[in-house]
């Protein structure tokens, strides 16, 4: 079945450090890929997405590139802030011919940014 | 911008009781999804509806049922509640754009505690 593997952390960085959170996937079809962020006590917010190979999603300084050859969608940010502290989920959707398919999530990566 | 609305936000029930969670999708979205997130876990897909018909089914227990109504809101009915049902329940919605159902937008969640 479809699955997502991501580093679980916690990942602790200093403010202004470079961030990489690795995400790899296994899917039977051609998935769309997503990063969601969850702040403490809140719901999931879409951070960025990519729908086909070599697409780059970007938002709020975060970027991720859909790499079909390595089945990866790593999240990066050049300079993190304390406000980026949250749990980050990588997710995929295979989307079978327009059906409302559920997302498959990774286990989540808890990111802690220290001042 | 209008977001997904879930009610109630918090719910406390006893074992073997029933619970009903409600979800109001973003206006003009025709698809809703339900997820369950246990403490420290990733969200698990339960079920989805498109145009009032069940579309995809995940790990929804037989004790749970759901439906989507003519105004596109959805309800998740949970019976014979067990301690293990204590979790955060998310609803997400999406709209069909150019023939594809892709980006899901999440509500704030309903936190269910079963005593």
Q: For chain B, first and last CA: distance in Å?
A: 36
CB contact under 8 A, B94 and A93: no
Nearest chain A residue to B88, by CA: A43
Q: Is the dihedral of CA A37, B37, B44, B51 positive or negative?
A: negative
Q: Is the peptide bond before A102 cis (omega within 30 degrees of 0)?
A: no
What size, in residues, is chain B? 115
pLDDT at B97: 59
Q: Which of B26-30, B58-62, B93-97 has the lowest mean pLDDT?
A: B93-97
CB contact under 8 A, A102 and B35: yes
Encode burial over A101-111: b for 16+ CB neighbours within 10 A, e otherwise: bbbbbbbbbeb
**pLDDT above 90: percentage of residues in chain B:** 77
Tokens of B38: 């246990």
Higher pLDDT, B36 or B98: B36
Q: Do residues B76 and B11 touch, judged by C-beta distance below 8 A?
A: no
Which chain B residues are within 8 Å of A103, Cβ to Cβ?
33, 35, 43, 45, 104
Which chain A residues are within 8 Å of B107, Cβ to Cβ?
43
Furthest C-alpha separation in chain A: 47
pLDDT at B87: 96
What would the pLDDT profile of A45-94 be if each residue is shown by its tens digit? 999 999 889 999 999 999 999 999 999 999 999 999 999 999 999 999 88
Q: Which of B45, B102, B107 sits opposite A102 (nearest CB)?
A: B45
Nearest chain B residue to A90, by CA: B42
Tokens of B30: 């025709």
What would the pLDDT profile of A1-15 be if each residue is shown by its tens digit? 889 999 888 999 999
pLDDT at B101: 57
Tokens of B91: 């609803």
Q: Do residues A93 and A34 touch, judged by C-beta distance below 8 A?
A: yes
Which chain A residues are within 8 Å of B108, Cβ to Cβ?
42-43
CB contact under 8 A, B58 and A102: yes
What would the pLDDT profile of B43-70 be if each residue is shown by its tens digit? 999 999 998 999 889 999 999 999 999 9
As a whole number, the mean pLDDT across chain A is 92
Cα separation, A96 vs A77, in Å, equals 32
Tokens of A31: 């998935």
Q: Kindly report the number of other CB atoms within 10 A of residue A86's CB atom.
A: 20
pLDDT at B28: 87
The stretches of chain A forming alpha helices (DSSP H) are none
Nearest to B47 by CA among B29, B28, B63, B32: B32
Q: Which of A51, A89, A102 sits opposite B33 (nearest CB)?
A: A102
Nearest chain B residue to A35, by CA: B103
């Amino acid at each position: 079945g479809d699955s997502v593997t991501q580093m679980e952390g916690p990942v602790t960085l200093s403010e202004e450090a470079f961030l990489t959170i690795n995400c790899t996937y296994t899917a039977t079809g051609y998935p769309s890929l997503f990063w969601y962020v969850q702040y403490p006590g809140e719901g999931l917010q879409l951070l960025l997405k990519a729908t086909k190979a070599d697409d780059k999603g970007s938002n709020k300084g975060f970027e991720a590139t859909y790499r079909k050859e390595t089945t990866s969608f790593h999240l990066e940010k050049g300079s993190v802030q304390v406000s980026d502290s949250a749990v980050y989920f990588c997710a995929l959707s295979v989307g079978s011919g327009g059906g409302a398919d559920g997302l498959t999530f990774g286990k989540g990566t808890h990111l802690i940014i220290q001042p | 911008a209008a977001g997904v609305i879930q009610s109630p936000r918090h719910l406390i029930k006893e074992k073997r009781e029933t619970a009903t969670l409600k979800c109001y999708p973003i206006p003009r979205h025709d698809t809703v999804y339900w997820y369950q997130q246990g403490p420290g876990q990733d969200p698990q897909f339960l079920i989805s509806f498109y145009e009032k018909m069940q579309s995809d089914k995940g790990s929804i227990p037989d004790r749970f049922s759901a439906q989507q109504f003519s105004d596109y809101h959805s309800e998740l009915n949970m019976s014979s509640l067990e301690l293990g049902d204590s979790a955060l329940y998310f609803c997400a919605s999406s709209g069909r754009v150019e023939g594809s159902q892709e980006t899901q937008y999440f509500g704030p969640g309903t936190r269910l505690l079963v005593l």
